[in-house]
Structure 1
């Protein structure tokens, strides 16, 4: 469960990293407070949230089992563990 959570955090941080790279490329001072005005941070946060929502939608649409499939839960057959599968 930690990998999907970290993936979403990474997606959220993408716009901030791109803006930081832009500041480095233009030599505007990455650590200067005037390079990070509140309206820019708000736009970056809004863009980040939009990216996260789109990634959730794409994840729900393109992952998981096919429609009308049946899940057979994990069980024991002849003393051996058989993992759950989609059929």
Structure 2
């Protein structure tokens, strides 16, 4: 669960990071107006779009074949029985 949360946090912060790198490379980071409301609003919206896309991709990749249920890993008689779709 922590991996999923960190993945989506990274997806949200990715546009901000790219914008900061672009400002640094173009030497415009010293101008505080570059971080005004306009760019922050669009960066937030694009971050949310990336998070929603990440949720959709993860839900489609983690789905098993139709008509099957997921059985988690269990320990029976001292032996791990791997999980899977049944």
- Contact persistence 1:70–1:86 (CA under 8 A): yes
Moved over 6 A (4+): none
Query: Displacement, 1:70?
Result: 3.5
- TM-score, scaled relative to structure 1: 0.81
C-alpha RMSD of matched pairs (Å): 1.8
Structure 1 residue runs of 5 or longer lacking an equivalent are none
1:80 to 2:78 alignment: yes
CA distance in 1: counterparts of 2:70 and 2:4, whole angstroms: 22
Distance 1:84 1:29, change over 3 A: closer
Q: Give the length in aligned residue pairs.
A: 84
Paired position in structure 2 for 1:64: 63
Query: Displacement, 1:71?
Result: 3.6
